[in-house]
Every structure is written in structure tokens, then in C-alpha cells.
Amino acid sequence: MGITDSPSKLDIISIGECMIEMFCEGPLASTDTYTRTFAGDTMNMLVAASRLGAKTGYVTHVGNDPFQDFLTGAWRSEGIDLRCATALDRPNGLYFISILPGGEREFTYYRAGSAASFLEPSDIDPDYIGSAKVVYASGITQAISKSSRAAVLEAFRVSRERNVATAFDTNLRLGLWSLEEAREALDEIIPYVDILLPSAPEESEALFGTNDARAVIGQAREMGVKMVAVKCGAEGAVLGLDDEIHELRAYVPEHVSDTSGAGDVFNGGLLYGLTHGMSAVESARLGTVMAGLKVRGRGATYSIPAREEAFGVYERLRGLAGAV
């Protein structure tokens, strides 16, 4: 499923919330030093695609607190178009993350009432949406507020009218809403989804009633989704397209430091490939490389690899596969 018909367009427009990320070593309660960066599932994907060379844009609200200049400056440094990233007199979301002994992650969020949660359908500019090859959102974008959920639906509805492909990551977060609400929102958006990007096994069990990636693909295809890529963590990914199933191994680096955002980074690699003439299978393979390289370092966006390194590993793996 290639998406390369309009070279003058933005490649990917993402809709959602980006927060201040503060990460540290050791428990949050006893740590004195934090590293400040930025993250959020829809932004993590966008940074991954941008670092590979995609032309990207973000639809969000940014708060006018002391972090505003840091956030917008960081986004611009990644080459992200911010014409539809507008300021509101609200705070930006903030979260703290620590990696505990044994690899467990400890999160604390301060995001209620954030600027981005005030996204609404009137923030969706049809002409801007029409300037993209792919429009992307997630279950988290839906979950942060009722108005943001309505904005996602409007963006995907406009995308269908403008013949723009859509990609959706289910990204279930039960701390933001109930499972019943998540299922209702998925049912609401699925008729407008071209590329579905769920995770297994826990998320797929909750939303689809199965931990079998192939069964998830079958359900989604029955609902009219054209392409499904199920992310299975260290087990890799399973891609469903045109009645074919492709299993892709994870790229496992020598050490793993922080898996935060790995699935989002996979999405960025996949969508970059699809918008730049790569086959669906090779796009997903690039996604696994991006995710594997990302988990070596801390921070959801801090450790996303650059294009040269990612394609170096990707080409090396292709060469090894060809030699088998």
C-alpha cells in the first residue's frame, strides 16, 4: 500500500498532545536530577518520521506557560510544520518517568486541563488536512477529552472526503478513560481508518478479545481496514495486507535501556516508508529497525535515531536476508 501520489504534499499530519517529559535514573521520590525533553505518542511518531526525512505537520494546542518556547522550538528543530499548532491560555501537560531496578517503568502525569486537551472539531482545517498524504491520530488523542475525540473524528471524516489516507494507533490507556469508552471510540473511528496500528497481547486482548495478532488482523479486515500492523514488542510485528500475513522479527540491539515510545517510533518508520515508495513489508521492516534503535537510550524522543544510522542498519539487515 504505497502513498506517494502527491510529491508536493506534506507526508504526514499528526493530531494529538505533546507533553514535557522529565526522565531520571532511580525512583522518582528520591531523584535530584532530571533531564527535560518532550514526548507524546503522536509526537514520538512524528519525530521518527521527520528524522528519516518525511515532511510533517502537527495539529495541537500548546500552552502559553514557560515551556511554550521550548516545545515549539524543539518541534521546529525537527522540521515539523506548526501552522496548526496554536497557543492557548492553558498549561502544557507534564510527566515524569523513571526506570526502576529490573526494568519496570514508573510514570507520574500532570496533564488534566492541558492546552492540547482543548482540541475541538473547529481546529481541523480541511485544506490543511487535504495537504497531507497520511493523517494520523491515536486512542490517546481521543481519550484526553470529549472535544479532542470529536476533533479526531472530524479530521478522519475530512480525510476520507479529500482522499487522504488515515492511520490510527489504538494506544489504549485505561488511566485516561474506561475500556467501554475506548471500545466505543474505536467503533466510531474504524470506518474511517485505512491503516490500523494496534499492539498485542494486552491491548489486543482488551479491545479485540484476543492476543493472537492474526486474529486481530482478521477482525480489522472484516471491519474494512485496508492494512493492519500489529506490534508485538520483542516478538516483532505482524502485517496484514491484501489477504496476506507477514511476520517481521524485532530488531534487538545489544542493550535495552527504555522502551517508552518504541511502538510510536515503529509507526513513524512504517509511515515514512509508505509515503516514500517502499513496499508495505519493507516499510514495516524499517519500523522495526527504528524501534530497536530507539530503545537503547532514555526518553521517548530523546533517543530516536537519525536517518543515516537507521538506514545503515536497515540496509545491512536486507543484505543479510538476501544472503540467506
- 189 grid coordinates: 473511528
Long-range CB contacts (within 8 A, 24+) of 100-103: 100/26, 100/27, 103/256
Task: Spell out a b/e string for 154-193, using b for 16 or more CB atoms within 10 Å of the CB, else e.
Answer: bbbbbbbeeebbbbbbbbbeeebbeeebbeebbeebbebb
Does the structure show a pLDDT above 80 at 85? yes
User: What pLDDT was estimated at residue 104?
Assistant: 74
Q: What's the mean pLDDT in 266-274?
A: 98
Q: What's the mean pLDDT in 240-256?
A: 94
Does the structure show a pLDDT above 80 at 101? no
Superfamily of domain 10-318, CATH level 4: Ribokinase (3.40.1190.20)
Q: How far apart are CA 151 and CA 140, in angstroms?
A: 12
Does the structure show a pLDDT above 60 at 293? yes
Can you tell me which residue has the cell 518525511? 54
Give residues with Cβ within 8 angstroms of 292, minimum separation 6.
250, 251, 252, 253, 313
What residues act catalytically? Answer: 264
Chain-centre distance of CA 58, in angstroms?
12
pLDDT digits (tens, 9 = 90+) for 231-244: 999 999 999 998 89
pLDDT band at residue 1 under the 50/70/90 scheme: low
pTM recorded for the entire structure: 0.94
Mean pLDDT of the chain: 94
Q: How far apart are CA 80 and CA 54, in angstroms?
A: 9
